[in-house]
Structures are given as structure tokens and as C-alpha cells.
Amino acid sequence: MDHMLMQRIAAGDHEAFRALIERHQDLVVGTVAKMLGNASEAEDISQQVFLRIWKSAKRYKPTAKFTTYLFTITRNLVFNEARRRKRRKEVSSNEIEANSHQEISDADEYRPDRELERQELIKMVNNAIKDLPEQQRMAVVLRRYEQMPYEEIAEVLGISLSAVKSLLFRARASLRESLESYLSE
């Protein structure tokens, strides 16, 4: 489906482009937000992702899954933004709340103390993920939140399968260490 949409986009079909955006926008915005920790920047970066897709549609070759192509563009833009932040020594105070919008199904079960603990745990996990090196962070986000197979993560990051496994192992060890004091309470 996506490959056919890309062919139509290459021919200048705006409706196909709109359809592609509708299919993948939430996925891209969510991934970028998890990587950068800032929802408003996630919207901006995702717009850039789709703009690049529009501009490069004529050069697109369906050699892999479309989502691999999509996440490769997303990765490049996120890493560029992270480098730009480092150069500017910019620190974002906005915390991602993408994982915290679960609905409470039964008012009788609602316990403010548990909700507060859950919110605190989400914040701690998001901060720990945000502190990972960018390659590890991207691997964790793609694996954990997008349920992407190791092979696709390797393609998106441009590394070997064993390197992905190693990245994820190191990331999990870092997360465990970062969260150890919180989890031992």
C-alpha cells in the first residue's frame, strides 16, 4: 500500500501524500516525542519528515519496508536536532506525557496515590530514556514503543543485527542502573 502511495506521490498526487501522512503521522510524532521529550518539537520534526518524503518521492526505491525508510528519515532529523541542541546547550524542561494518557476505567478503582506513583514512574522512565545516548535511545524507542523487529532497527540505524542487540543490551543495563534507586524503594 505504502509503495503504491509513494509512486502516486512521485507523480505529484496530493491525495496520496495526504493518505500517507494520515497513515503514519501518529507513529512519527510519537517516536519523535519519545526521542526529544518535547511534543511541540515533535510536530515540527514530523512535518519535516513528511516534507522530505514529498521531495524525495521520485528517488524512492521500494527495497525495504516503507516504515524502515520512514524511520531512517525520522532518525536523521531527530539526531540532527539532538546535535543542534547540544551545540546550543539547550535543555528542554517539557516532559513527554505520551505514555501517561491512559483512561481510568472504573471510578471506584481510582486511587490517587497509585496514580501519582504511576505518573512518577513514567516520568522517571522517560527521563532515563532521554538520558541514553541517541543511538541507544532510538533503538529502545523503536523496539519498545513501535515493536519494531531487530532486523528493521538495524536497517533504520544502519548497523548490524548484532550491533542492535548490543545497543539494546547496553541501553537496558543503563536504564536498570538509572532506575535502580527508584525501583528498590
pLDDT of 87: 75
| pLDDT (tens place) for every residue of the chain, 185 residues total | 899 999 999 999 999 999 999 999 999 998 898 888 877 788 889 999 999 999 999 999 888 889 999 999 999 998 888 888 777 654 443 433 444 343 434 444 556 777 777 778 778 888 888 889 989 999 998 998 888 899 999 999 999 999 999 999 999 999 988 888 777 76
Class of the CATH domain delimited by 109-185: mainly alpha
CATH 1.10.1740.10 domain locations along the chain: 1-95
Q: Grid coordinates representing 11?
A: 507523480
CATH 1.10.10.10 domain locations along the chain: 109-185
Class of the CATH domain delimited by 1-95: mainly alpha
* H/E element, 166: helix 161-183
Considering Cα of 41, then 172, then 69, then 13, what sign does the dihedral take? negative
pLDDT of 110: 55
Q: What is the DSSP string of 55-122?
A: HHGGG---SS-HHHHHHHHHHHHHHHHHHHHHHHT--------GGG-PPPS-GGG--HHHHHHHHHHH
- For residue 128, give the 3-state DSSP assignment: helix
A 10 A CB-CB count for 49 gives: 25
pLDDT of 185: 63
* Residues whose CB falls within 8 Å of the CB of residue 12, separated by 6 or more in sequence, listed in order: none
pLDDT of 47: 92
pTM: 0.64
* Residues whose CB falls within 8 Å of the CB of residue 43, separated by 6 or more in sequence, listed in order: 29
pLDDT of 92: 41
Query: Residue 100: what residue type?
Result: S
Q: How far apart are CA 139 and CA 161, in angstroms?
A: 11
pLDDT of 109: 55
Q: How far apart are CA 76 and CA 73, in angstroms?
A: 5
